Every structure is written in C-alpha cells, then in structure tokens.
C-alpha cells in the first residue's frame, strides 16, 4: 500500500507553536514517527507539508492513480477550505483525516470539518498517535 501523508499550514512549526496544545516534538519528529509506523505496518509513505492551500489542492489531485490513500491533516484549512473538500471529492481517493488535538474540544469555529465531509474516517486528539491510527486503519483495510 502506498499512502500520501499531507500536512497543512503551521505544522512545520511543531515544537514552537502553542506547545501547551501540540507539545515540544518537532515536525522532524513527526516525520520519523510516521516513517517508523509505516515501516512496522509494511506501508510505503510519502510525507509533505505546505502552508499554501493551492499546493495542498494540487497534491490531492496529483495523488489520483499514484497513491492508494491519503492521510490528511489539513490543519486550519480543515475548517475553511471548500477547495480541499472539492479536491477530495473529485479524486475519489480514500482519505483519512487526522488532527493532533481534538477540534471538537477547542474553539467553536474548529468544530466544522470540510475534510471530514469527504473523509472515510477521522482520528483526532491522539497526538502523533492520530497518524498511527490512520495508517493502521488503512493497512487493515479500513475495517476497524
């Protein structure tokens, strides 16, 4: 299985950004964690991060026919981007939404997820474990 792991705005600042919410681990730590989890599961992953909505949309579109699934942490675009939602719907890819924190326990505006409207599953509030849960879900055929 080949999975594209996409991360949206400000995730490059992990370890610096709101450590009381996101902890002290860095984006490089997340990359290592995802790579180790994928290796353990026998999944090939490619991981990317962007602060630009259009780039995220382009990557979702380009995944069609190249990747078996997408693990997507659209970050702030989760709550604002109809363009990301439309890209997911257009490519008809398996998409699993992830979040380090649980948006449902945060500000009211974070409780709407455009990504979740098209994703087959969401894992949130587990820190890096949200990514592991998503990869395990996909590697297991999505039966859990």
99 catalytically annotated: yes
Q: Which 8-state DSSP code applies to residue 127?
A: T
Residue of 27, 77, 99, 131 with catalytic role: 99
For residues 48 and 59, give the distance between their C-alpha atoms in angstroms, rounded to a whole number: 9
Q: In what order do the strands lie in the sheet with 44-49?
A: 44-49, 2-7, 69-73, 94-99, 121-124
114 catalytically annotated: no
The answer to whether 79 touches 10, Cβ cutoff 8 Å, is no
Residues designated catalytic: 22, 99
């Amino acid at each position: 299985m080949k999975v594209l792991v996409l991360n949206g705005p400000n995730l490059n600042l992990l370890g610096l950004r709101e450590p009381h919410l996101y902890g002290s681990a860095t984006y490089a730590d997340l990359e290592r964690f995802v790579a180790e989890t994928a290796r353990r599961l026998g999944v090939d992953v490619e991981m990317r991060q962007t602060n630009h909505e259009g780039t995220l949309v382009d990557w979702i579109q380009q995944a069609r026919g190249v990747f078996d699934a997408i693990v997507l942490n659209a970050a702030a675009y989760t709550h604002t981007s109809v363009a990301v939602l439309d890209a997911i719907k257009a490519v008809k890819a398996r998409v699993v939404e992830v979040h380090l924190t649980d948006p449902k326990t945060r500000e009211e505006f974070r409780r709407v997820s455009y990504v979740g409207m098209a994703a087959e599953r969401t894992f949130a509030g587990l820190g890096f474990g949200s990514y592991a849960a998503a990869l395990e879900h996909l590697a297991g055929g999505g039966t859990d």
